[in-house]
Amino acid sequence: MADISFMLLIFFLVATTMDTDKGLFRMLPPYQDPTEQQEDIKVLDKNLFVVLVNKDDKLMVEKKPMNFRELRKSCKEFLLNMNNDESDKRYPGYTEESIPGIGKVKVTKAIVSIQNDRSTSYEKYIEVQNEIIAAYNEVKDVYSLKYFKKPFKDLKENQQDIIKQIIPQKISEAEPKNIGGK
Amino acid sequence: MAQFRSKEKKTPPAISTQSLPDIIFMLIFFFMVSTTMRESTLLVKKPHLPRATEHVTLEKKSLVSNIYISAPSLQYQKLYGTQPVIQLNEAIEDVSKIAKFVELEKESMPANDRSQMIVSLKVDSKAKMGIVTDVKQELRKANALKISYSVVPKN
């Protein structure tokens, strides 16, 4: 009996692996044929939070060089502040939307745009993605504490959907191009 | 007083092995539950995955297909060089093969799951974005839009 079970045990030890797959989940935009004329969607400059990563893994955020450690904070600030004043270039605009269960709330028009070079290292790219997603998650927590008095992960599924409507996660990745040569 | 101590040396009683099968079975069940089957042999070096904090766990294994991007392992370096390459299933392939790969993977899934297919990109952190971008473009063309950048959890 013990011999048979030992044999089975060794089989499972050899044939299986322990690692579970964890990852940053993203949706890609559908493919657009570059030969077809596409109507450019106009996005106001002030609604965009532009993150550039160059070939030396250096960051440029909103046309200014930025230390990597400040990225999350400044992205969070961008997502939480909004005004519809055209002259204010720092923060994005918003739309008033009535959401069932809460009422009228301001929904930010913010879009985070990440652009990278072909020579950017994958490690840096993931770090930037991670910081942006972290900023969104922190903002979600801010809103869920405000409306439901609980952190986002403790909310029920329909409550999570409401929060997701208040702060839609819009991360745009530009079509690949070479910034600053090979 | 000496007669209290017996003459021959006492041997300790043997450990009972009656419960041994039970213990081994317990171990088997532990391994059966906590591990998953090894999918494919790696022809590339095991990717050194980047670290991230905001990860989610991919629950449904049957929906996930893997694409590895890493430097070829030593015995293939003569053939493919040392720069990161793409491994689909059991072979190192060119970027242009990804559409075919996605099609085959989708066919092997139940029909109503096909739209939910997730491609898990296991990319070495040393790789450059160029090759990753190419793969992403091909995935967009193949209409496999749900992707996951495989990472190692940080703290």
pLDDT in tens, A8-62: 888 888 877 766 778 888 888 887 776 666 666 677 777 888 888 888 888 888 8
* A35: in domain: no
Distance CA B122, CA A100 (A): 40
Q: What is the mean pLDDT of chain A?
A: 81
Q: Give the C-alpha separation, B85 to B77, whole Å.
A: 10
CB B50, CB A14: distance < 8 Å: no
Contact B83, B132 (CB under 8 A): no
Q: Which B residues 91-130 touch A at CB under 8 Å?
A: 118, 120-121, 123-130
Asked if residue A178 has pLDDT above 60, the reply is: no
Average the pLDDT over A139-167 and give the result: 85
In one-letter notation, the amino acid at residue B67 is I
* Interface contact flag, B150 A137, Cβ < 8 Å: no
- Which among A3, A7, A13, A24 is the top mutation candidate for probing chain B, defined by the most B β-carbons within 10 Å of its own β-carbon? A24
Cβ contact (<8 Å) for A12 and B32?
yes
Residue numbers of the domain that contains A154: 42-173
A16, A117, A120 ranked by CB distance to B38: nearest: A16
Question: Residue A25: its chain B contacts at CB < 8 A?
Answer: 56, 58, 118, 146-148
Q: Do B125 and A121 touch (CB under 8 A)?
A: yes
Q: Which of B24, B54, B121 lies at the smallest CB-CB distance from A5?
A: B24
Pick the CATH number of B60-153 from 3.30.420.270, 3.40.640.10, 3.20.20.70, 3.40.1130.10: 3.30.420.270
Question: What CA–CA distance (Å, rounded) separates B28 from B22?
Answer: 10
What are the pLDDT digits (tens) for B41-98? 788 888 888 888 888 888 777 788 888 898 888 888 888 888 888 988 888 888 888 8
Q: Cα–Cα distances in Å, from B145 out to A30, A31, A130, B114, B123?
A: 7, 9, 19, 12, 17
How many structural domains comprise chain A?
A: 1
A178 falls within a domain? no
**Nearest Cβ partner for A118 among B123, B125, B130:** B130
Q: Taking the CB of residue A180, how many other CB atoms lie within 10 A of it?
A: 11
Residue of chain B minimizing CA distance to A14? B38
pLDDT at position A181: 47
Domain-embedded: residue A132: yes
Per DSSP, the three-state class of A42 is: coil
Contact A132, A169 (CB under 8 A): no
Mean of pLDDT over chain B: 84
pLDDT above 80 for A152:
yes
> Given phi > 0 = left and psi -120 to 50 = alpha, else beta, which region is B21?
alpha
Query: Closest residue of B to A134, CA-based?
Result: B54
Q: What is the mean pLDDT of residues B133-152?
A: 88
| Burial readout A14-35 (b: 16 or more C-beta within 10 A, e: otherwise) | eeeeeeebbbbbbebeeeeeee
* DSSP bridge pairs for B86: B69, B93
Interface of A with B in 141-180 (CB under 8 A): 176
- Residues whose CB falls within 8 Å of the CB of residue B34, separated by 6 or more in sequence, listed in order: A18
B148 touches chain A (CB under 8 A): yes
Q: Compute the distance between CA of residue A59 and CA of residue A57 in angstroms, rounded to an integer.
A: 7
Query: Is residue B43 left, alpha or beta, with left meaning phi > 0 and alpha meaning psi from -120 to 50?
Result: alpha
pLDDT at res. B1: 54
**Is residue A74 scored above 70 in pLDDT?**
yes
Identity at B133, one-letter amino acid code: T
**Within a domain: A14:** no
Residue B39 has pLDDT above 70, yes or no: no
Predicted local distance difference test score (pLDDT) of residue B52:
86
